[in-house]
Structure 1
Amino acid sequence: MKNRVVITGIGAITSAGNDAEAFYKACIEGRSGIKPITAFDTANYPSKLGGMVENFSPEKFIDPMKIRRMDKVSQLAIVSAIQAIKDSGLLITPENSERAGIVIGTAYGGTATTEEFYVGLLKNGPNATNPMLFPITVPNTAASQVSFELKIKGPNSTFIQKEISAEAAICYAARLIMDNRSDAVIAGGVDELNSILFHAYCTLGVPSPRDKKEEVFRPFDKRRNGLIVGEGTGILVLERLEHALNRNANIYGEIAGWGMTGANSDVSNYDENPETMTEAMRLALKSSNITVDDIDYINACANGTGLDATETKAIKNLFGKKAKEISISSTKPITGDFKGMGGLRIITALLSIRDNMIPPTINYSVPDIECDLDYVPNNARKAEVNNVLINTFSNGGSNVAMVIKRYKQS
């Protein structure tokens, strides 16, 4: 029999708040952290907005001497992990460190540091390039730095899979516990926003305003014209249920199950056929041993692009008439959209279950005939929430659906 996996600690750093509760409060209040970007020059781009982390003080958590050798992604991940560990009350000791693991998802890692190293290499040659930068150009730097800081000696892995990076990491972390290879795993996702990534997104025509009109992040709305990019991190402490109960830990919720599928879409586009998305959701419900009637809330992947209509079709394909009755929202306009945000979306699900509140889809005002479900427009909704379905669909065709449920003793 597989071990049950519960979540006992949460940590977050976002443009809308620098801890999990502040982030969730912004979600419920519909208060976005998206602002004009000041960290780098956007004059040559049609997009000017971003969800940039502000007032971040890693020196309050990390030795300043260590910070000098860390990229921003590692700093974000470490602080969020420290928050999550503190919240869980879990103590990592020499006696249990080999039964604790770390699994992080990131689409890009520390690209700003990578740029600094390779630009220096090309401009100045190998003898004049800072060699201390090279070890932190690899994508698994954040997971390694977290393990060093928390003295974790168990499994250590990094997942890099575009939008599903964090979700894939969390599913793998849950599997480690289910298979009794770990008692606790710190898992989640992280990504930064910098001038290189912003340039790439704008060159590909991804951000709002694709139609050269108003720059607004409005999923499911008929006037949607692209996403707005953000940055941040969401980290969870996953535990074997018996381990959590033995130390009287607070349990936010349980990972009930998940489903993964792939599609044959172009590497830079979302699949326009909803079938593989529908199948991911069906597999998630099957592995969770629940039906469509048990889902109270869907935290959607919708990001202000053509994906919104495809996801709507996928939900209708699986849920049938029930689709009209389910509360659905996209919380991405609160922080801006970034690839490693899966941990944040699970935190949203957990706190929605705790508070029986469903966060809204903000900036929604003009209905679209292709998006005709209940998207909880603009205002949070009080409702009983026991089971949350989280959808994540990546351009290039990777799909993950996860079910987070209220913890109940069996």
Structure 2
Amino acid sequence: METTETIKPAKAEILKKAKTYVTDLFEEKLPRQLVYHSFKHTAAVVKEAKALGEASNLSGPDLEALVLAAWFHDVGYTEVYDGHEYRSMEMAGQWLTEQGYPADRIALVQETIKTTHRDEPAATELQLLLADADMSSMGQEEFFANAELLRAEWEAMLGKSYSTTEWAETQLNFLLSAKFHTGAAKDRYKEQFKDNIKQQRKLLKKTGKKAKKKEEEATGTFAEPKRGIETMFRTMYSNHMKLSDMADKKASMMIQLNAVLMSVIITYLGAKMGQTAALGSLFSKNPILAVPMSILLITALGSVVTAILCAQPDVTSFKWLKRSPQIATNRRVNLLFFGNFSKLSLDDFQGGMTEIMREKDALYTNMVTDIYYLGDVLTRKYRLLRTSYTIFMVGLILTALSFGIALLYKS
């Protein structure tokens, strides 16, 4: 290989014919899914190979061989995807033979093409220059646009699908592991290559933040999970307190109503008891009136008893709290409720509260436990309240029916 003289870019007729042949071949046979390994990529590699060859002071024949290898290095894609480099060598050899190109130069072109395969090491200067030209995109501003084209091509041809974050990681790993082999390539691409690595790192960081934000939005915690959790607890406590207050007010109303009703009935009966003869005369004339009176009295009594049970304070406690070795983290213990911690010694209570304030999980565990038992108490309250209202409703209906029957019986 002659390298002692400076040679101008090769303009041999064979190069013009090669360009025409590859252009027509790609137009006719290259799959449309190959959006990265297109004629545009081949033309870019040819351009860079010329520039690197000239910067390396290659001789005319060697520069011609390098440019020919650049034109043919991807023609194998028209027939096969994986291992296309070897098919490119064969197709280059066939075409160059038809053109009467010297056999030793054909072999040189083929050996230069072979080095573009990922498993073939580059050894000669021409191989190193073609490898650098083929990977020149990573030292150019078009790297990111070309990377997206490659991503789309892999998805279409190989079925490989990447998320934005995964692709950013893949590209960064590629840039960090890749390198240019020749001095000409390093001088030509080093600045933009370093800048691309920096930009890829920023892009990965940015996509990572976006992915995290999407994940948080999907789980409903948004940008500040702590605030969302505290709002949830605050809302749940407020709702439970309102429901408890409503239950107590309704129970109080039933107690007052039935207490008044019972007072009227008892007062009336007491007054009549003082007039035994008159009362006896009343019931003797229409004894069936005792039925509605009795039903009303029993109704009022049953309703007021269940209402009182509903309004009665319900304090849950656990005698075994004192023997609990880890009070604050026990899921069944609620140090925020006096019914639990009143059974503890002051030292145990202070120790448990200190642990709660120090550990977020312990605090949330106790708050969840507190809400659970509030719900348990509310369930009992509303069950008794419903029973009280049901007794009162059914009792009034039976009283009205029995009184109507009594009137009909009297008439």
Query: For this structure pair, what is the TM-score category when the shorter chain's length is used for normalisation?
Result: under 0.3
Compute the TM-score of the two structures, normalised by the length of structure 2. 0.20
Which structure has more helix as a fraction of its residues? Answer: 2
Which structure has more strand as a fraction of its residues? Answer: 1
Greater RCO, CA 8 A, separation 6+: 1
- The structure that has the greater radius of gyration is 2
